[in-house]
Structure 1
């Protein structure tokens, strides 16, 4: 990007920088003509759109190397390493690759299934066996392994069916005899043992039939433009809006940890895309929804040595034949051509590509002339000249890449480029960050689960962005520093709920960040009263003098003291991440906290953060009494900055409650009750899915 910017003549840069949205057709055409004459630009497009030199193509050699590495780790009982190797091998293995007369992908699923069985992950083992069988239905070992998993789960009827299939596909007589022996044992056990039902739920989040037919109206205000307001009185914690995304993309930082379709945390038995190495999915259901093919579709193709449907870019994305292309649009499929641009371009640019393809599909089915009409606001005229140039270049690059990978004609001219520039501007203004609850105490791998309080959570919960999406209707809700509604997500679905009583006609506004601040009206009123009292020239306001008592403070010395103190807090933060807390680090941070308290306002958020860091550190060194006191002090400050029932306090109470439970402190009951009330206010009946810690802590506190 920077190299391209440098190659653009200054006259064109100036023209683009001074452009308005009405000039875009002209300015983008001029820049397009300039770039097309640059060899460097042509080379960049070739690198991004050429499937023959791909960063995300399948590779049998690499898959075999990873398989061997996984086998070695399995034999030495390094199960976490083996799991990582098998999963990475599945990601890069071509669907038609053969290894020792067996389909490589099926063998890898079976190897991972054996690993899961070994460590007691029976449901995951069952699912991987099923995938191996879908790819190779005559794979006797896969049927046998699935039968063993079903036996351990108590599913004897299914196990009998699996072993019968294994016996029929087994070629050796010794193998058939062995299976027959085990089958007879299972039949005897079946007679004396009741069947244990195994429930496989592809979607781990429940959805409640909660009424939300509340009438909202679009209003216009002088300071914020259009927005949403209630047409009736709305009680606290009421669901006012529910919406699926128009388009969505996972953030690059979460590609290895979250499902690329539903954005939930990946399970141990991850499912890769069948045609490229970019996405990972939590289930085959999500993989298919994103545009992939079911594993069962490959058995005929593998047998006849056919290639898969959209490898190497030869068979391009076909429009959905359904009567409603918006609902069934496969988000990833048009990117899945062995090309580099979905990996390299920023997430919001790839999201723009998904929206363009979807709107083009809609345009073709409805005979509309508009390339992309979302009806969203934008701020093109307010952005800097450098940002305008960036938007122009990204729009040209994106359309060039899409032209290579999208079968429907997508012209590259001034009109389409201007619409694309506006679309990217709309995304940057209107897109929503999809968040998940996260704590540093979350299991770092798939071999630990939250089963007990342990020694207490060392950090509070926080909202971490995992994806970016456009919700057309939700974009109408305005921002406020004093929000009265709260947005959260279950899988891809957006829910908006009132956090307080909302009267008829009142604007419904949310915080665009993780949470909104509460303005301390009392302090503001005190300052205002003081200013009015001395408004006849007796009030002398000078930098460094206190407004209340008039005393002088050396601001430079104060800043130096704060910066030095904060360096010790940062050192503590690093020690917390590495879980290597020394006595010296703790002592230095405690002294630094004293300096911050004596220098900053008593309710400064930095002081609360320092208290919180010390609480985390004392948890790690098992000094829970000190951790409890620092946690309480942090909460006291936050309750002043926000309010006692703000969601930020709920997140902190999760940590405090776990510390109190570790100390057998009876106050844990009050803490868990309080955080339960807060989370119910913000998440309604979905609280147990959004904050699983809450239910567990409450159960332990009340036992």
Structure 2
């Protein structure tokens, strides 16, 4: 939320405190449906007690709007970087210029077109020809002045030639010659220069000179195992939906399913990009933005990967949300509730209660079919009967705020206003908003992507982690029940969810997802607490049941350092010689050395970092089991340092020690083990240890293929395949 106004969460916390003290909360909690809850919030005028909201409503329509003055200033900054040949910095400034330039003022100034034209020049020098072409096309259709337009047309032909698009380049040359011959007033010196450029380009084409295409190609989505189901349209034919009183709706294997099978391929019904990624990912499809993103035509915030995504977002939802972005970012996950409403559409929602149902099982349409549609979303569980009074009250306040947004923008018909009694239409939409907020607590999915963290721009030993980019609702994936030891893993191609089996599933067995608490990553107590607080159930999956039995049977004391069973609790462990005083001292010193190593590594003092990490590893090996996470982290950093100095044998030694820890902790088919194997493969590859590298690559490929699919276009799989190909070629050369 913009600091000039306020924070919605703070506001509803204060309203909740007041409602508890005056007895309103107790009255509210006795209400038994969403219509009554929205009406209660309206009648009590709670929202009017938020002091900064009137100021926000008065100003939100002019916030985040375009500014020609800023557009010119950012373009001038970009020109300075361009003159210094700092093209990436120039592009960042030109992008800001384009974001702030108003497309409604093209006749008065050409800030938008000139920003695009300048950015295309920087992109050209970076050989980003496809992105350069896109900027040129937009600039030429946005009122670009003639001298600049001529330069852009020449640059366009250069891009086409470099991309190997000969026929298009030839047509563009013919068009430009015709254009040039029709402008007799063009200064002779300028005209001669343009004609020379055209002649040079024609010569390149006559020599059949072709460049290499750049940019990313769209990856094809994987095919569902055995084809799509006739009932669950986004899922494999190999799965079917079952329903019982104890489990509710769930998915089981209709036939034997092997590990690596694609079970669900589903686009979200609705999704929202997280605030932290507004400048790095497309607001519509969540693809990582290129150097040349496309801005919203109205606000100076939202960015897109293409004109198509921009126009799609505007038509579906952004035309409503554009002026309320500060407020919507403050309501958190509830923003997705508004997005669901806008995706469904007003007329559809007002008529929704008249929809026919073909089955007593929720979400099934006539047919019966379970589809990626509003019915499937609407019929997801809300768990409102399990909610605490305070939570339900705050969700209702937020739903009412979102209803206020829709009324303020004129989305509801008949001049709707909250000054009087709520109309039936207001009540209907308000109750839908609240319903979806309640559902999202248990049914929202995080769209994540794998990101690599590197130190000092070294790619020798990388650390990979899943980073949450957006929040979405996938009605088919929501059918899968939880297990702390899941059957499947989810990955994403832009906003499309791909669900694959990570183990064989026999006919009739249930298919399980993990809602977050995983038996390999969290203790039993922590898992049960997390699942109970968010999902309102006590987990009795096989992993939890076995762990509970193991805890009950295992009463033998263990050494807290090395984990060895002990008959009693001696002052000093006979195996690792642990005692509490030395352990505390060693732990503190090891932590200091680890941080010291990180600081030295960041400063490129690799030799000093090796000393710090080596001492840290020595201390942690003395006081910890060889599989404990802090020890593995220290080994990993030490391996990175040795790899950066070309000591690949030493690097591989520490990475190999971590393999067994990763396998024990996460399992022999886990994605974590796959990434550890990939790191080790990189080191063996650089050390030209062909046999070891090929063996490790095959193991890594086996795991990553199960998780991501053979032809998914996954960058890690492609990198391993390329390494393997190079090694085989190298091996063949040395054998001869």
TM range (shorter): 0.7 to 0.9
Q: Is the 8 A contact 2:450 2:465 kept in 1?
A: yes
Cα distance in 2, alignment partners of residues 607 and 441 from structure 1: 20
- State the number of aligned residues: 647
From 615, 622, 627, give the equivalent of 1:591.
Answer: 615
Q: Could you tell which deviates more after superposition, 677-686 or 17-26?
A: 17-26
Alignment TM-score, normalising by the size of structure 1: 0.81
| Residue pairs, 1:2-151, within 5 angstroms | 2-7=10-15, 8-11=18-21, 15=25, 19=29, 22=32, 24-36=34-46, 38=48, 40-41=50-51, 43-44=52-53, 46-47=55-56, 50-54=59-63, 56-98=64-106, 103-136=110-143, 139-151=149-161
Q: Please name the residue that 2:191 is paired with.
A: 176
1:347-402 deviations in whole A, cap 9, x for unaligned?
41221111122234362585646998621123334444443343232222222112
Secondary structure in 2 aligned to 1:685? coil
CA contact (8 A) 2:163 2:214 kept: no
- Cα–Cα, structure 1 residues 374 and 9, in superposed 2: closer, same or farther, change >3 Å? closer
Distance across 2 between alignment mates of 1:276 and 1:169: 39
Q: Establish whether residue 549 from structure 1 lines up as the match of residue 567 from structure 2.
A: yes
**C-alpha distance 251-52 of structure 1, shift in aligned 2 (>3 A):** closer
1:49 and 1:511, CA in 2 relative to 1: closer, same or farther beyond 3 A?
A: farther
- Hey, what's the Cα distance between the residues in 2 that align with 1:118 and 1:252? 32
- Name structure 2 gaps, 5 residues minimum: 1-8, 229-236, 356-373, 417-421, 524-541, 573-578, 730-736
- How is 1:554-569 mapped onto 2 (pairs within 5 angstroms)? 557=581, 560-561=584-585, 564=588, 567-568=591-592
Q: Is the 8 A contact 2:642 2:650 kept in 1?
A: yes
Choose 279-288 or 584-593, whichever is displaced more: 584-593
**SS of match in other structure, 1:469:** strand
Q: Tell me the distance in 2 between the aligned counterparts of 1:541 and 1:186.
A: 77
Paired residue for 1:678?
A: 703
- Equivalence map 1:523-538=2 (5 Å): none
Bigger CA drift: 640-649 or 61-70? Answer: 640-649
Instruction: Specify whether residues 22 and 265 from structure 1 end up closer, same or farther in structure 2 by C-alpha distance, changes over 3 A only.
Output: same
Task: For 1:18-417, list aligned pairs within 5 A.
Answer: 19=29, 22=32, 24-36=34-46, 38=48, 40-41=50-51, 43-44=52-53, 46-47=55-56, 50-54=59-63, 56-98=64-106, 103-136=110-143, 139-154=149-164, 155=166, 156-161=169-174, 163-164=176-177, 167=180, 171-174=185-188, 175-190=190-205, 192-194=206-208, 196=210, 204-209=218-223, 211-213=226-228, 214-220=237-243, 224-291=247-314, 330-336=316-322, 338-341=323-326, 344-361=329-346, 363=348, 368=353, 374-409=378-413, 416-417=429-430
Whole-Å separation in 2 of the counterparts to 1:248 and 1:268: 24
Return closer, same or farther for 1:512/1:290 CA change in 2, 3 Å cut-off: same
Shift of 1:118: 1.9
What's 2:471 paired with?
468
Match of 2:460 in 1: 457
Instruction: Provide Cα deviations, 1:622-642, integer angstroms capped at 9, x if missing partner.
Output: 543332222222221011122
Task: Give the equivalent residue in structure 1 for 2:531.
Answer: none
The alpha carbon displacement at 1:96 in A equals 2.7
The alpha carbon displacement at 1:472 in A equals 0.9
Q: In the alignment, which residue of structure 1 is the partner of 2:629?
A: 605
Q: In 1, are the aligned partners of 2:289 and 2:305 still within 8 Å (CA)? A: yes
- Which whole-Å CA distance do the structure 1 matches of 2:61 and 2:311 have between them? 25
Q: Which residue of 2 aligns with 1:501?
A: 504
What SS does structure 2 have at the residue aligned with 1:86?
helix
1:18-48 deviation line (CA, Å, top 9, x unaligned):
827825544543333334573535x415515
Q: Distance in 1 between matches of 2:456 and 2:307?
A: 24
CA contact (8 A) 2:446 2:469 kept: yes
- The CA deviation at 1:689 is 3.0
Deviation of 1:339 (Å): 3.2
Q: Which structure is higher in RCO with an 8 Å CA cutoff and minimum separation 6? A: 1
Residue 491, structure 1, aligned to residue 494, structure 2: yes
Identify the range of structure 1 (88-97 vs 609-618) with the bigger mean alpha-carbon deviation: 609-618
Alpha carbons 1:143, 1:162 under 8 Å: kept: no
Query: Does structure 2 retain, via aligned residues, the 8 Å contact 1:576–1:617?
Result: no
Structure 1 counterpart of 2:437: 424
Distance change >3 Å, CA 501–CA 543, structure 1 → 2: closer
Q: Over aligned residue pairs, what C-alpha RMSD do you find?
A: 3.9
Q: What is the alpha-carbon distance in structure 2 between the residues aligned to residue 526 and residue 477 of structure 1?
A: 23
